[in-house]
Structure 1
Amino acid sequence: MTEDALSRIADALDRIAPPPSAPADPRAHPAYVWHGAALHPAQHFAPLPLDLLTGIDAQKGAVLENSRRLAQGAAAHDILLWGARGSGKSMLAKSALAALQADGENIALVEVATDALDTLPDLFALLAPVPRAFILFIDDIGFDGDAAAARALRSLLEGGAEARPANMRLYVTSNRRHIVPRSMAEQDDPVNPRDARDDSLALSDRFGLSLGFHAASQTDYLAMIEAYAAHFDLEYDAADAIGWATRRGSRSGRVAWQYIVELAGRAGRSLTDAKNID
C-alpha cells in the first residue's frame, strides 16, 4: 500500500474518531464535569439565584457557610444532602457555589459521574496543586449491593492514604439518609447483626455535615411558586398550582419549578435560565 493511501486512511480514521479535546484549565471555569479521565467545562452553568430556593433556609445557611470556609482556606466539612426527591438538594449545592463566585470567592464545582468514583484519587492528584478551592459534587449516589465501592469512598473521605486534599470537599446527594441500603435480613444474621448495621452506617458518618430535606408543606410549596413567579414575572393561581401538585402526587421544589415552566409555556414565553430542580 502506498504512503498516500495510508495517509488517506489515517485522515479518515481521525474524522471517524477525532482525538479527545484538551483537558480544561482548572483555574478558568466556574464548573466542570469529570467522567474519569479529564476535566471538561460544564456547559451552560447558571444555577438559580440562592434566594429563590424557598423552605430550606437552615440548609442554605449551612451549605453557604461551609462553602465559604472552604473558599477562604479554613477548615470545612464534607456534606451529605439527603432526603425527598426534588427537594432542592442538587440545586442548593450549585446555587451556593454561584453565590460565592458572585462575591469574588475563588471556588469551583466539579461534578463527578457516579460511575467514576474509582478515579477520585486521580482527580485529587490533578486538583491538589491548583491554587483554588473545589467542591466535588456527586449527585444521587447509591451503592445497591456494592459494598466494596462504599468502603472505597469511605476511605477517601477519612483515614485513607489517598484522602482528599485540603482544597476540596465532597458534597454528595442521596435519597437515603445512610446512603447504603439496609434490609431486615441484617437483623437475622446470627453472626453479629450490629457489625452489619455499623458497616452500613459508617459511610454516612464520615460526612461532617448531614443535612436532611423533607417533603414540602402546602405553604412552603406555594411560597416556592410565588418566589419563582415573581422572579420571572408570571401570574399564577394558587388553586391551579395546588391542583398541579395533586395530579403529580407530591409537593417539592421540582414540582414547583415544573409548574413555572407550564405557566411560561401557557404565556408563550421561554425561561432563558431554566433549571433542573433536585
Structure 2
Amino acid sequence: MADAKLEQKLERLLDRLEILLPKIEDEVDWSAAAFRWRRKQYLGMSYGVLEPIHRVALVDPDSIKNADQQKAALLRNTEQFVRGLPANNVLLTGARGTGKSSLIRACLKQFADQGLRLIEVDKEDLKDLIDIAQRIADRPEKFIVFCDDLSFEFGEGGYKALKAILDGSVASTGDNLLVYATSNRRHLMPEKMQDNLASSMDEDGELHPAETIEEKMSLSERFGLWLSFYPFSQKEYLAVAEGWTKHFGGEISDRWQTEALQFALQRGSRSGRVAYQFARDWAGRMHLETEHDN
C-alpha cells in the first residue's frame, strides 16, 4: 500500500516537472520556408530550437547580375538536390557585396515550392550540426544549412563539427541536408606568411605544404563545389545600380551616373551591395523631391 502511494506521488511530481520542461520537437512549425537555429536557456539547461522565419527576404535570381556562371552552377546543384539526385555542399568565396548570400536566398525562392527549406546557423552554433541533422532526418523536405560570413580561428568548436558533417561521420546526416556557406576567406581560416616558411621541397622539386597549411586547406576542400566572386568593374557596378534604380521607381537623369560613382567612392567599394544602397538612396530622394515640388 505504501509503495502504491509513493508511486502516485512520484507520478504527480513527474507530471508537474514535465509541464516545466520545454517542448522541443512539438514546437517546430514545419510550414515555414526558412528557419533559424537558436540555443536557449531554460531552468539552467541549454537546448537548440528551430525558429520559423515566415517573412523571408527572398531574392529573384534574375536580379543577381555579373555572376551568371556562379548562378547557373548553384541553381543546377540545388535542383539536383531537391530532385533527390547527387549534389554537393557549396562554398561561395570572394569579394564582399557581390551577391553570395543573395544567391543562396535566390535558390530558396526558386525551389521552395518543390520542398526546399533553409536553416540559418551562426558560426558559433555549428557545433550543433549533428543535432540539426537528427532533428530533420525524418522530414520529407530538403534542407540547406546556410552559414554566412564563415571563417574560423584555430581551436574553435564548430570547426571539427563542420568537418564531420562535410566528410560524413558515423552519425549519417541522411540525404536531405546540404551545407551552403559564404566566406571572404578562400580557405576559411587566416593565412599567414609564416605558415609558408615551413613548406618543403623534395628531391624532385615537388612542393609539400606545411602541416599548418594542410590543416587550413582541409576544411574548404571538403566542399564539393567552390564558387568564386570578384569585385565589380565600373561598368558592372553602374549596370547593377541602374537595374536597382529602375526597380525602386527612380529615374536615370543626367547626374545619376556621377552621383552613383561618387557614392561608390565614398564607400570605398564598387559592389552589388553598394549599388543596391545607392539605388535606394537615389530613388527615395527623387520621390521626395517630386513630392516637395508638387
TM-score (norm 1): 0.83
Alpha-carbon distance change, 190 to 114 in structure 1, aligned in 2, over 3 angstroms: closer
Q: Describe the superposition over 1:210-257 as per-residue Cα deviations: whole angstroms up to 9, x where unpaired.
A: 101111111111111122122222113122111110111110011011
Cα deviation per residue 1:39-98 (whole Å; 9 max; x = unaligned)?
111252032211011111111111111111111111110000111111111111001221
| Alignment partners' CA distance in 1, 2:189 and 2:260 | 35
Matched, 1:245 2:256: no
Of the three residues 169, 175, 180, the one matched with 2:184 is 175
Greater RCO between the two (CA within 8 Å, min separation 6)?
1
1:201 match = 217
Q: Retained in 2: the 8 A contact 1:34–1:110?
A: yes
Aligned to 1:29: 32
Q: CA RMSD in A?
A: 2.4
1:18-167 → structure 2 map (5 Å cutoff): 23-26=27-30, 28-36=31-39, 37-101=48-112, 104-146=113-155, 149-167=158-176
The amino acid that maps onto 1:260 is A
Whether contact under 8 Å (2:36, 2:50) holds in the other structure is yes
Indicate the structure with greater strand content: 2
CA contact (8 A) 1:67 1:97 kept: no
For structure 2, the residue ranges without an aligned partner over 5 or more in a row are: 1-21, 40-47, 201-207, 289-294
In 2, are the aligned partners of 1:141 and 1:173 still within 8 Å (CA)?
yes
- For 1:145 and 1:211, how far apart are their aligned partners in 2? 24
Deviation of the 1:144 alpha carbon: 1.8
Partner of 1:6: none
Task: Give the C-alpha shift of residue 163 in structure 1.
Answer: 4.6
Count of paired positions: 250
- Runs (4+) of structure 1 exceeding 4 A deviation are 19-22, 189-193
Aligned partners of 1:157 and 1:163 also within 8 Å:
no
Structure 1 residues not aligned, in runs of 5+: 1-18, 270-278
Any idea what SS the aligned residue of 1:32 has?
strand
Structure 1 Cα separation of the partners of residues 156 and 227 of structure 2: 23
Q: Hey, what's the Cα distance between the residues in 1 that align with 2:278 and 2:231?
A: 17
Q: Which residue of 2 aligns with 1:211?
A: 227
% identical aligned pairs:
35
Moved more, 203-212 or 182-191: 182-191
Aligned partners of 1:109 and 1:188: how far apart in 2?
Answer: 41
Structure 1: how far apart are the matches of 2:174 and 2:193?
37
